[in-house]
Chains A and B, each alone.
Chain A
Amino acid sequence: DIQMTQSPSTLSASIGDRVTITCRASQSINDWLVWYQQKPGKAPKLLIYKASSLESGVPSRFSGSGSGTEFTLTINGLQPGDFATYYCQQYDSYYTFGQGTKLEIK
């Protein structure tokens, strides 16, 4: 089974900051990676698919990169609504989620 490891588990940042979240796969998944944002009590929201493709309607301050085993989600110019938990997920072989990164206000 493919394991996904996200870091950091918690990230403190301020409005306007640029932040990066990393996701590592236990084996190559090519670019079969997505990023979700989840707010408390709500369903996850798809942000990025195929590692770097922005889902329709998602602000351009969100970007994804990487391939193989190393991936990053970058948010440029944090907005108040961006404070949430972010999950990566591979879909190369079945589905596996990372453990999540909670983005908090500093």
Chain B
Amino acid sequence: QVQLVESGGGLVKPGGSLRLSCAASGFPFSNFYMTWVRQAPGKGLEWVSYISSSSSFTKYADSVKGRFTISRDNAKNSLYLQMNSLRAEDTAVYYCARGGARVAMGYWGQGTLVTVSS
């Protein structure tokens, strides 16, 4: 069965960096777009970024453009989100999901919490 497991969240100071990972299993990872979505505490869902199956195409929300970088390693069935210059407003649960562009996100991980605070 499809499984997506995020890791790498934690407490980081403003201006700091963090790298999130998402381990995928149960499907041909290299065939699918992948996406990061976040949810601030008590708030709604916010799309962060997606990446094409071959990494040739990436898109970012304006709120993270220039600070976050999405990448993937198809040999390791893994998705990543490098987050730099973190701000308090980046505090959220970060979910990885299978899908992107004109493919709905049918599978989601359980999320990993990122807290940006001094």
Contact = CB atoms under 8 A, between A and B. Distances in A.
Nearest to B103: A91
Contacts, number: 51
Interface in B75-118: 95, 97, 101-106, 108-111
User: At the interface, is chain B mostly helix, strand, loop or mixed?
Assistant: strand
Interface string A75-94: 00000000000010101101
A17 to B, nearest CB: 24
Interface stretch (A18-26, A41-49, A66-74): A41-49
Given A91-B101, A94-B59, A95-B35, A46 B47 contact: no
Interface string A43-63: 111100110000100000000
User: At the interface, is chain A mostly helix, strand, loop or mixed?
Assistant: loop
Contact of B47 (A92, A97, A99): A97
B102 to A, nearest CB: 6
A96 interface: yes
Contacts of B105: 34, 44, 46
Interface residues of B, number: 22
A86 to B, nearest CB: 11
B46 interface: yes
Nearest to A91: B102
* Among B44, B95, B110, B111: residue with most chain A CB under 10 A: B44
A97 B46 contact: yes
B106 A100 contact: no
Interface of B: 35, 37, 44-47, 50, 59, 61-62, 95, 97, 101-106, 108-111
9 contacts: A36-B45, A43-B108, A43-B111, A44-B37, A55-B106, A89-B47, A91-B104, A97-B47, A99-B44
Given A49-B104, A91-B103, 15 more contacts: A1-B62, A34-B104, A34-B105, A38-B45, A43-B108, A44-B45, A44-B95, A44-B108, A46-B106, A94-B47, A95-B50, A96-B47, A97-B47, A98-B44, A100-B45
Interface of A: 1, 32, 34, 36, 38, 43-46, 49-50, 55, 87, 89, 91-92, 94-100
